[in-house]
Amino acid sequence: MRVSSDHSWIDEASVNFETNESDSYALEEGLQIREKNGDGEVVVISMGPEGRTQKVIREALAKGADRGVHITEEGPSETDPLRSAGVFAKALQEEQFDLILSGLQSLDLGMGQTGVILGELLGMSSATLVMETEIGENSIRVKRELESGWFQWVTLSLPACLSIQSGINHPRYPSLKGIMGAKKKEIKTLPKAEIIESNVNQSITRVYSMQKAKQTEMITGDIDQQITRLVEALRTEIKVL
């Protein structure tokens, strides 16, 4: 992976694109909830340029999603989560989903916000770091991950927006018939430029390699002297003791 020559982003030609790993878990959870519920429609939405975004949506359709929405994006990728979520909210608000699932965060910026903001803009109840779901009549009970090995079950009213933690399930593989069938499923396209807000709330000014100005202190002396110096460093400089 290389930074683009103007340091505004990465050089996209230097990498391979694939479905964001967290999102695969979210999709799988959606497909499983539909299976447990007996029926329902699973829709996928993604924003980005032609080729790679269509590929990601088709892969989801091959796995069992029913239809897709592609927000076509020309030019640099959106990096303001408020704006991204705003676009999705506009594209989806007519549809009135019972559940919106998103991955915990994206590999690129890793803000971890878009899904939560989207839920809020659509007036849905919200939970993050979801490890397990139990769909009910008008509610959904979810297990949230807390810090340090703690968990908590929370019941939310529908409609609900959940951000899904990785490892919650095992994403299925698309079958051959699924891949063939995906070609016939609908993908609606909508240009980002038509629905995005003009307001930019935060922006990236520079992308670069973080080179730590590393001065390595090679600790010398006999073994006891080395240990003494190291412990001193651990105590006073690194401050872990």
For the CB of residue 161, give the shortest distance to other proteins in the complex, in Å: 10
For the CB of residue 45, give the shortest distance to other proteins in the complex, in Å: 17
- How far CA 151 is from CA of 128, 129, 145, 165, in Å, comes to 12, 10, 5, 12
**Cα separation, 87 vs 194, whole angstroms:** 9
Q: Give whichever of 110 and 191 is closer to other proteins, judged by the CB atom.
A: 110
Q: Give whichever of 107 and 193 is closer to other proteins, judged by the CB atom.
A: 107
Q: 59, 52, 96, 70: which is closest to 182 by C-alpha?
A: 59
Sign of CA dihedral 10, 11, 15, 18: positive
**Cα separation, 25 vs 92, whole angstroms:** 21
**Cα separation, 87 vs 190, whole angstroms:** 10
For the CB of residue 1, give the shortest distance to other proteins in the complex, in Å: 6
For the CB of residue 89, give the shortest distance to other proteins in the complex, in Å: 9
Q: Give whichever of 43 and 131 is closer to other proteins, judged by the CB atom.
A: 131
Secondary structure (3-state) at 87 = helix
Q: Give whichever of 193 and 230 is closer to other proteins, judged by the CB atom.
A: 230
For the CB of residue 214, give the shortest distance to other proteins in the complex, in Å: 6
Q: Give whichever of 67 and 143 is closer to other proteins, judged by the CB atom.
A: 143
Between strands 125-135 and 187-191, the pairing is unpaired
Q: Give whichever of 103 and 119 is closer to other proteins, judged by the CB atom.
A: 119
**Cα separation, 226 vs 217, whole angstroms:** 11
Q: Give whichever of 175 and 189 is closer to other proteins, judged by the CB atom.
A: 175
For the CB of residue 41, give the shortest distance to other proteins in the complex, in Å: 21
Chain CA centroid to CA 92, Å: 18
For Cα atoms 69, 15, 128, give the angle at the middle one, nearest 5 degrees.
50
For the CB of residue 119, give the shortest distance to other proteins in the complex, in Å: 8
Question: CB under 8 Å to 10, separation ≥6 — which residues?
Answer: 1, 2, 3, 4, 207
